[in-house]
Structure 1
Amino acid sequence: MNKQIDFEKIESKEGFHKAVAEILEFPKYYGKNLDALYDLLTEMDFSVIHLKNLDSLSKLGEYGASILTTFKDAAKYNPNLHILYRKEK
């Protein structure tokens, strides 16, 4: 799987979880919180996820930083998960 999440288009926590569930094709039971995100990311088969416009995470304050940490931690745990970071606008 090769997917892209563009943070420039995300305006809220709820918007992030809705977008990530759709983009990454999460099951309906996805809990729409960072613990649930971590759980599903660590269970993924081979995947490359491009995180684009990271500067836009600042709109979400501390939660934006926690989102990034969740992706980083999940990639450390799951050797099949590869995260690519792009700060461009």
Structure 2
Amino acid sequence: MEIILDGNNIKTVEDFHREIKNVLDFPDHYGNNLDALWDCLTSWIEAPLVLIWKDFEKSKSCLGEFADKAISVLKDAEKNVEGFKIKWNNESNAYSTEERDQFAKLLVLHVRDAAIKSCDLRLHSSNMNSPSVKRWRDKISSINNQEVVEMIIADCVDETIFWFLKAIDETVFNISFNSAEGESLSFSDFEYGEIAGDYIGEWRFKFSQERSYNDFEDL
């Protein structure tokens, strides 16, 4: 069963609790707080159930920090309640896995790998004389281990891309992507808070042709 939580009706924390209580038919004694939300999600709802948070971004911008806390509770419930699933922005208009991979591959190959190759060229070139190459050459001549510099280059590129994607996640930038099929898709159609983490944890290892360092693979 699919149930819609309409973000157009959610402008305050009180609105959120009222709407989610109504659509999920929580009991009258629902406490209008996140602890009560967790209790009802894990003990009251009847699964299988798909909760579609329609126009999620509208309500998120109104709810501020509370939105992050509510989302955390909902995602934890999704992990712990068999048959309970959440969809954001009524995902009929959201990115498909194929479209996410299209964007990820373009980002990694044409931004990440291109930046690393450009920096490597400056690092290893002996016959280029641009101002930046000269500046690098002067500083690097005192470093014995160029592998350290190569590692720092990759880490700095990854760090920059991560924070750019995090700004998109947090709607600092409103950016769209044209898929291979010619469809223009807003990044708000991605599930909340996903693309920065997806880049660091998956995309760079999956699509990059340059070096990547995974500090957590042995954990």
TM beyond 0.5: yes
State the one-letter code of the partner of 2:37. Answer: L
The equivalent of 2:75 in structure 1 is 72
1:33 Cα deviation from its structure 2 partner: 0.4
What is the number of residues matched between the two proteins?
A: 88
SS in 1 for 2:87: strand
The equivalent of 1:22 in structure 2 is 22
Output the CA distance in 1 between the equivalents of 2:25 and 2:46. 13
The equivalent of 1:51 in structure 2 is 53
Deviating beyond 2 angstroms after TM superposition, the runs of 4 or more aligned structure 1 residues are: none
- The answer to whether the 8 A contact 1:42-1:81 is kept is no
Output the CA distance in 2 between the equivalents of 1:66 and 1:77. 17
1:82 Cα deviation from its structure 2 partner: 1.2
**What are the ranges of 5 or more consecutive residues in structure 2 without an aligned counterpart?**
90-187, 190-219
Q: With structure 1 as the length reference, what TM-score do the two structures score?
A: 0.88
Q: Does 1:37 align with 2:40?
A: no
Output the CA distance in 1 between the equivalents of 2:34 and 2:86. 16
Where is the strand percentage greater, Structure 1 or Structure 2? Answer: 1
Q: With structure 2 as the length reference, what TM-score do the two structures score?
A: 0.38
**What are the ranges of 5 or more consecutive residues in structure 1 without an aligned counterpart?**
none
RMSD value over aligned CA atoms? Answer: 1.4
